[in-house]
Chains A and B, each alone.
Chain A
Amino acid sequence: MSEAFAIVENLRYTHWNQETPTLRGVSFSIAPGELCILVGPGGSGKSTLASVFNGEIPHLLGGSMEGRVIVDGVDTAVGLVKDLSQIVGHLFQDPESMFATLCVEDELAFGPENLLMKPDLIRAEVDRLLVEIGLEAFRDRLVWNLSGGQIQKLGLAAVLSLSPRMVVLDEPTANLDPRSTRSVHELVLALRERGVTILLVTREMDDFLLSQADRLIAMDQGLLVANGSVQEVLRTKGAELRDLGIWLPETVEIGLGLGEGFREGSMPVTAAQTMAALGSRGLLPPVLRGREIPPLAQAQDILVEARGLCFEYPNAYRALRGVDFCIRKGEMLAIVGRNGAGKSTLAKLLVGLLKPREGELTLFGKGARGWSVERLATKIGLVFQNPEHQFLTDTVREEIAYSLLARNIDGKAEVERLVGECLGRFGLEDCADMHPFSLPAGMKRRLGVATMLVCEPELLIVDEPTYGQDKQMTHRLMATMEGIREKGVGIVMITHDMRLVQEYATRVMVMSEGRAIYDGESARLFASAALLDEANLRPTLLQEMLAIYEAEGGRVEGRISSSEDFLAALAPSLRERQRSPA
């Protein structure tokens, strides 16, 4: 303990506006220069814990705190925030709200200016940081005009401008496209190389970071449920983490599925490690047989069709540059692409919030200009990224009922019946009388989807369906959407989550710089490195594993789109091996 950089001792904390503690006796330590990953399901207390190291708790956020937090020898309850901020930097979940200025270089100068550094020294520090995060070319750019990945990098650099010896990063890659996620992770590793102690809070474990992290800590309901080296935690507590709904890499899920014998010694984390381990144990058959590939929906079932669709905002930003696509009944179309590729603009055009100026957009057989938003709302549902924007009433129950009333379903008994059904379907019964704004983030999301699905739209658009959801709830949500898709409803999901695309999408459209550069099956997309590169995407770990398998002479038949499918495909060799263990 004496060598630790940060020590948390029996920490209990209750927010000022809550009665039950968010942290309920947490103790652990982080060694200097360690890269520590903190995971846990939504509402487990991760973000609260992230706020204790630089004195935000208790100095700025109030509440009642018991126990001790020592950072670099300083008790945070005694130290001043201005001093602690030079020891520990904290990158918040929403870095855009952190920004104190309008322009990139001013943002980096803000901290050093507060510390009364001389202008020439500040300038040198800003130059150094711009090089470090790769934003030299964006020095004068307004922060509004940065992409999601650039905003995260700028936020991190702004924190680093005070030269802290420890940084706490709260979900720094939430909502980023896969390649931007990787580049933020590379930056994190470079910091570790410089000796900075790092605590990275995340919902989703990434193989790249996990394979290089020193420590893995898991939380649930305000308590630590795992703490140790990555390998130790994955081997001994992996199943527990999976059952908590934490997103584990597919490789780890496969490792857990193959039983203790497979992960003896170490748990493979990367695709290459997993394939090597499977190969050395003779578990890879010459042919991996997956599920049957469902046929694409037929052309006569078209709900929406666009030809040469363009859109330019009043500030001359050209978001769409001639997009051709269609959406058919009973398909689940994933729209993917880098941040700023035009996906959200397309969604707004589909629901009538924007009107096309060039090209054709036909919605349910009628030109888009002929539809009002209110009329279209009876046919299309859109679940926004921030569900709070959509809430209109004072209880969860009323919120669902409002959707029915808006569709002229107003018989009291009928409304009550449908609301009751919907509450059950989305696991919202226990909070039916709560205020929508007081729900945890995951439940808000579910309520957002519920308010749209209760009216049985012909087309449902969901922006980032997995945002803020643990794995079980994601699968429950997706199963519900699968159910309505099978009944003929068209589903469009706008997402960066390639696992979701791989597992659920019947078709995928890739957008890049306002154009659709691919429209087809997800398997073909993952096989094209050039396409992935152009759209800032990356294959999933499972796809990487299958690519290695095929490169080594294996053959894949059918569709393997989840770790469960992969395990099912390995089942014959497992049985074979059990029959002849030698």
Chain B
Amino acid sequence: MSSGPSLILVDRDSYLARVYPLVKLGWVFLVAVFLFLFRSPLSGATMFVCLIALALLGGRVRLSRIAMSGRFILLLGALLMLFHLFSDPGQVAFRIGPFLLTDTGLRQGPVFFFRLSVVVLASFILIWTTDTRDLMASLAKAGMPYRFAYAVFLALRFLPLIQQEVDAVRDAHRIRGRAARTSLSHRAKLWGRYVFTVLINGLRKAETTSVSLETRAFGAFPTRSYMKEPIFRRRDLVLVAVTLALAGGLLVLERL
């Protein structure tokens, strides 16, 4: 037992954990749609701050967990932003050595940063606040064949396992030390081995799980029962309504 994976259900008693899983899934799509409609970085920034607050207060997710899981995405978002800052055509606003920053770049860079970061953050909130089994049950209840619904579940179930595997392999490789005077191709090969190890062990785990499911009568009948089924309540839609009001308001404001 150590720190454990960071992309898993955090607290099943939080407000968000009690919201019907399909509503949360729909909410992620809704957030994504609005982010693609926003043109102002301020709208994206407002959504970013609101989602962080939602994760902290509504999902009881610790800031450290958000930071830990989100660091790579933030880095990716920052790279995307830099790319736009220096490559978008427009009027030159600043000059840093040979690099030119255009007015379009200055506007579009942050927009793309928040677009990526907020959509990923919304997906993480879904993972942190949803028992994936409930998501499977609600998808099956909505008419999806349970074998397909379970595939969605397993993908999410494996996310933390793969994360643990990546961490373990990274640690183990660091301890082996770094071969001096190694060529770039050799380093690329080492990276290949990193991926290979994670992949092989991931596939082994997946094979064990798959055999285990069969030997526990999964798929024995066209349908299955559920000891507990998630229940949809109208108040679950508050999340969607508040998001619609906030994002809709931002959309209207930036177009005024």
Partner-B contacts on A (CB < 8 A): 54-56, 60-61, 81-82, 85-86, 89-90, 92, 94, 97-103, 105-106, 109-119, 122-123, 126, 140, 142, 144-145, 147, 158-159, 162, 313-317, 319, 339-340, 344-345, 348, 351, 353, 373-374, 377-378, 381-382, 384, 386, 388-393, 402-403, 405-408, 410, 437, 451
Contacts and interface: CB of A to CB of B under 8 A. Distances in A.
Contact of B2 (A89, A117, A344, A384): A344
Interface of B: 1-6, 8-9, 12, 62, 64-65, 67-68, 131-133, 157, 160, 168-169, 171-182, 190, 193, 197, 200-201, 204-205, 208-209, 211-221, 223-228
11 contacts: A97-B204, A99-B212, A102-B9, A122-B225, A145-B4, A314-B68, A317-B3, A319-B3, A386-B201, A388-B201, A406-B179
Top-9 shortest CB links A-B: A313-B3, A406-B177, A340-B1, A389-B172, A82-B220, A377-B177, A98-B212, A97-B208, A109-B227
B9 A56 contact: no
A351 B220 CA distance: 49
B2 A144 contact: no
Given A115-B220, A373-B174, A406-B180, A102 B133 contact: yes
Contact of B209 (A100, A377, A407): A100
Contact of B174 (A98, A374, A407): A374
Contact of B175 (A126, A315, A319, A390): A390
Given A97-B209, A115-B220, A147-B1, A402 B179 contact: yes
Contacts, number: 196
A377 B220 CA distance: 52
B161 to A, nearest CB: 8
B223 A102 contact: no
Contact of B197 (A92, A389, A407): A389
A104 to B, nearest CB: 12
Nearest to B222: A116
A83 to B, nearest CB: 8
A155 to B, nearest CB: 9
Contact of B131 (A103, A126, A315, A345): A103
Contacts of B177: 374, 377-378, 403, 406-407
Nearest to B201: A388
Contact of A388 (B178, B179, B197): B197
B181 to A, nearest CB: 7
B216 A142 contact: no
Contacts of A386: 168, 201
A145 B204 CA distance: 22
A325 B51 CA distance: 45
Contacts of B201: 386, 388-389
Contacts of B211: 56, 60-61
Q: Which of B67, B160, B204, B225 has the most CB of A within 10 A?
A: B225
